[in-house]
Each structure stands twice: as structure tokens, then as C-alpha cells.
Amino acid sequence: MDDMLKDFVVEAMDLAVNVEEHLLRLERDPNNKETLNAVFRSFHTIKGGAGFMNLTAMVAACHLTENLFDALRNGAAPVTPLAIEAALQASGFVADQLTDLSNGAAPEQLASMPDSLERILVDAIEGNVAAPAAVVAIATIAAIAAIAPVAVPASTIGADGLDWDAMYRAVMPAGSATAAALAPATSAPATVAPATVAAATVAAVAAAPAPAFANNAWDGTDRREEKVQEFRAASAPAKEDSIRVDAVKLDALLEVAGESVQAANQASVLLERLLQFKFDGPAASLMATLTETLERASRYSAELQRATLATRMQPVGRLFQKFPRLVRELAKDLGKEVELTIEGAETEVDRVVVDSLYDPLVHMLRNALDHGVESPEERLAGGKPAKAYISLKAWQEANSVMIVLQDDGKGMDPVALRKKAVEKGLINENGAASDEEAYQLVFLPGFSTKELATSVSGRGVGMDVVKTAVEKNRGAIHIESSLGHGTKFAIRLPIELSIVPTMLVSTSGAALALPMAVVQRVVELPETFMMVGGAPVLKDQGRPLPVRSLAGALGYEACSERVGIVVAAPQPYILAVAAVDGTADLVIKPMTAITVDGITGTARSAEGELVLVVGLSFLMDGCRSSVRLAA
């Protein structure tokens, strides 16, 4: 199995496990929209990867299940036990296929989607409440096998001298319905004929080439254990210079390293305060020794942090190498000519960031190919070359990594985007007034400009996944587009996630931290401002920039804010705060218990004070949340 297929299997396995958990939760709470959307997204993501790997049966099963959950979340079909059963069977089929792949099966060797799975999914989509006969039959047999007392008969030697019943029981899982059927049930109903199942199964086994056995009454156990030992010996890894470390352990190590740096910084602050006092005699000698010891501890803590971070850094090329084939296959399916160029594959970023970027970039590429790039005929008619070009670039910029995906397609029409969002009830008539806000509409759940969903796009889920994944990693995404010339998506992410360089500020009595990635400089604010359209504006280096209050943006009480921070956003502005308290590398803790608009996490300053970290995406969007849904 090649590396790309192996990565897909690992990622899809995780999604398949989550799907089963979500389905069981949905069975208990059928009206949970969040769970419905989570299941939908998981099948959508698996389908995208499966299509890339040319796993046709998996794509078919996921596509039908997508249709089912699209109907469930739109209210076109009810969440019935049949719907849950159909989805569970689909996730089971996907998991079986993934297991076969992980066990070494080639994609072309995988089984096709069973007709029974297709029937039950279609029935669930159409809202039929009666389960197919096959499902009822399977459930009945399973119930009988579970309740029927089973007596294991004495070994029966066949005409060929082999005990086929004993060999079958040796390889079948204990308690399985088929294995139980081999043994006559003492109290099973007369209508059930396990002997028929046993006869057919034994006949199938007997048809296979029979190995030679020294003992005619062999029960299979000894030889099976021998095979297990042979397999373990054959699969024992050779000695290597590198080892695989559980990502959870690595994350824990990085957290400890970050906390040690934080503790060293706090100790340094306390030492500075102590040195303000006068020490004589032995006390002075002890203070000198303490100072040297703390400096050494601080230096080693910083080295530990850097070494730990280095173990997590990976080039984005590991991710980018998966996309040329994806673009080629999708372009072929869509009848388009597209060439993908990649730059900056050597750019290194935190492993967590690399792993979390796969799904967003897949969705962005699929949208660029389906929505952005025109057909060869359309391009020629518009004076463009028949072949379209998509570029994927990465580079480091200060403490951030920039990833830009750009196409030379037809671009995005802000007027059409607003109209479609209003039609779908996502915004009101006055929503998304500017072009910038109109472009942000593509990130709303359920938004799509396509009238009919295809296997590539049109369900309004892809770009929602993109924004969610980027903001989860404390990043921001920006869109630039020009009609007839193409669209550019720019993602800004921290190079590493746990330690973030910040500027410490205060306003309305609250201690806050702003990511240094967006801070250009600090300016002094006047008592009065020039007003443009009723909003304050200040000239900075010859350009007029709007002034926005941080207290007002976060919903705090108004206060005197006479310090301005020039924010390097797509539309630059000046952020007004009460005071700037310095800079610090903070260990960020994500907020999990509650969600506060504009705040992405918490940290402790060197003095031990609790600091709220303002979100990068919030700042990049001009200190306002993304376009809101219609009330």
C-alpha cells in the first residue's frame, strides 16, 4: 500500500469510528442538528478521499448516505430507526473496505456495494418506515442465535477422515450466528433450520483444498497458534534510526516544555523585583547564585522548547504531494484542462497544522475545479487559453505560514452570491453589503451556488469545513476575486500552535493578548478624529484608516482608548486600546467550556495574570465576526 493510500485509510478510519458514535447519539436524540451535520460531513470527507483513490464502491455508498443525511437535515425525510440502521450499515461497509485495504487488499480487489445496502439507503431516503425483509431476517437469525441454548456436538469425522465441523468452529468467532448455526439448538423453533446453514457452510469449506493433518481429529487450535507466531515473527520491525511516537505523547511533551518556559519567565520577573532590594553579606552571595541558576534554567527551558517544536515541524510538501493526482483526476471527470503548480513545498509548519490542512485544501481544490475554472470552450470564447492554471504556494511570513490557492477562472460575482444567500434564507436583504462580506458568504453552512449537487460539490458543506478547520488552528482565511480573472484564497496560520508571540494590551480593565502576526506598529491616538460616514478615521503614513475600539468590538464597557495598533488585515485599520503592556510568548490554552465571540483562548502572563487571547480570524475580519445568518 502506497503512502497516499495509507494516509487516507488512517484518516478515514478515524472518521468512520466517529460516524458510528454520532449515529448512536442520533438514535437517542433524533432532532440533534449538530450530530446530523457531523455525520454528513464525515461521509462527505470520506467520499472525497475515496474518489481520489478510485474506490468506486466506497464512493457510491458514501454518496447515497450523503443524500440520506441531506434529506434528514432538510426535513425531506424523517430520522427513523430505518434511517439509523441504513447509515450504520453504510458506515460498516466503509469500515470493512478500509480494513481490507489496511490488511493489504488492492483497491481493485474490494467488493462492490451490496444491493441490500443500496435498497435500505434508498428506502430511508424515500422515508419508508418498513425495514427490508433482509434486514428483518438478519435480525431474526441474530436474535435466535443469541437466545438459543447451544450444545456442542462430539466431533464427526467425515468420509475423507477430516473433522470439518471442528475445523470450522476453530476459525469462526465464538458466539457468531453462523458458528452457532453449526450446533443443533436444543430449544430453537421448528421453523428455523440451522442444519441447512451448517450444511451449506461445511460444503463451501470442503470445496477448498484440504491441507494434510497428522491427527484426523484435529481441532485447529494448535496450528492456528503456530500461524500467529509465524506472523508475529515475520512482521517484527527491523532496527531503525527513527521511531514512531504517539502524537498525544508529543503534544504532552510540548505542553510541559511550554509551561517550563512560562515558569522560568515568571521566576525572572520575581527575581527582578527582588533585586530592587539591597542585600548584604551572605544574602548578596545567595542572590548572585540564584540569578545565575535561574538564567541557566531559563536557557535550558528555551532549548527544550525549541527541540520539542523541531520534532513536530514538517514540510507542507508532505501534504502538497497528494494534490496533483487529485487535480488531474477531477479535471478529467469534469472535462476540463487544468495544470497545478506547487511552490514552497519545503516550508515547515507544526505537524498538527499540516494534518488539519488536508481536508480544507481538498475542498478548496474541488471548488476551484468545479466552480472557478471554466470549460475549455468557455475559456476560448472568453479569450483565455483552453488550459486553466491553479497555483498552490506556501511561505513563512514572520511568525505565520501563508498558504495561497489561486486559479485563473471566472472569479466570484458578489451580486450573485448575495442573491443566492438571500434565496436560501441565510442573510436578509441588507446583509453582506460589501464585496468582502459577500465573498465570506461561501463559508456559511448550506451555501452553494449550484442548483444540483454532484459527486464533486454543490452541497454547501465544503467551504464551511475549510473555515472551521482554519479557525480551529487559530488561523484566518481571506478571499480576493475578480470577475473573469480568477479567485485567490489566502490562509494564514501560526507556524506552531502552543507558543504564540503576542502583544499584551489592556482595555476596560481586561488584560488581552493580540497575535503579533497582525501587529504592524503602535501609534498615539488624538482626542478627536476626522469622521467619514459617521465613523472615526485617522491618517497613518498618508493613508486614511478606520479606527475601531477593541472594547466596543468585544462588548466591554466604553473607556478612554488613546493608544492605537495598526492591524495588518486585508483591509488595514487601527485598533484602539487603553494601554500597551509589552510583548510575550504565551502558552495558549483553547477555550472549551464556553465560546466567547472574538476570544480564541487564555494564557498566563509572566506575572501569573490571566490573559484573554484575541482570535487572529476576528482581527483579520476587522474586529467583527463573519457574516451572520439571518435571524
Asked whether residue 327 falls in the same domain as residue 297, the answer is no
- Which three three-digit cell numbers place residue 303? 532549548
Domain boundary among 466, 494, 522: 494
Asked whether residue 361 falls in the same domain as residue 417, the answer is yes
How many distinct structural domains can be found in the chain? Answer: 4
The CATH number of the domain where 57 resides is what?
A: 1.20.120.160
In a domain, 522, yes or no: yes
Residue scoring higher pLDDT (165 or 32) = 32
470-499 pLDDT per residue, tens: 887 888 888 999 999 999 999 988 877 667
272-299 pLDDT per residue, tens: 888 888 888 888 889 889 999 988 988 8
Sign of the CA dihedral with 384 first, then 385, 388, and 390 last: negative
192-245 pLDDT per residue, tens: 444 444 444 444 434 444 444 334 444 444 444 444 444 444 444 444 456 667
Domain range for residue 20? Answer: 3-126
Closest-CA residue to 489 (of 525, 529, 442, 551): 442
In a domain, 237, yes or no: no
pLDDT surpassing 60 at residue 151: no
The CATH number of the domain where 397 resides is what?
A: 3.30.565.10
In a domain, 52, yes or no: yes
- Say which residues have a Cβ less than 8 Å from residue 378's Cβ, sequence separation at least 6: 410
Domain boundary among 312, 338, 356: 312
- The mean of the pLDDT values for the chain is 78
> What count of other Cβ atoms lies within 10 Å of the Cβ of residue 527?
6
Element (H, E) at 224: helix 221-234
Residues 154, 539: Cα–Cα separation, whole Å: 95
Residues 390, 369: Cα–Cα separation, whole Å: 9
Asked whether residue 379 falls in the same domain as residue 444, the answer is yes
Asked whether residue 269 falls in the same domain as residue 366, the answer is no
pTM over 0.75: no
Asked whether residue 598 falls in the same domain as residue 616, the answer is yes
3-state secondary structure of 585: strand
DSSP state, residue 353: H
- Say which residues have a Cβ less than 8 Å from residue 432's Cβ, sequence separation at least 6: 414, 417, 418, 421, 438, 440, 441, 627
Residues 145, 180: Cα–Cα separation, whole Å: 6
Asked whether residue 372 falls in the same domain as residue 483, the answer is yes
560-606 pLDDT per residue, tens: 999 999 998 888 999 999 999 988 888 888 777 677 888 988 888 87
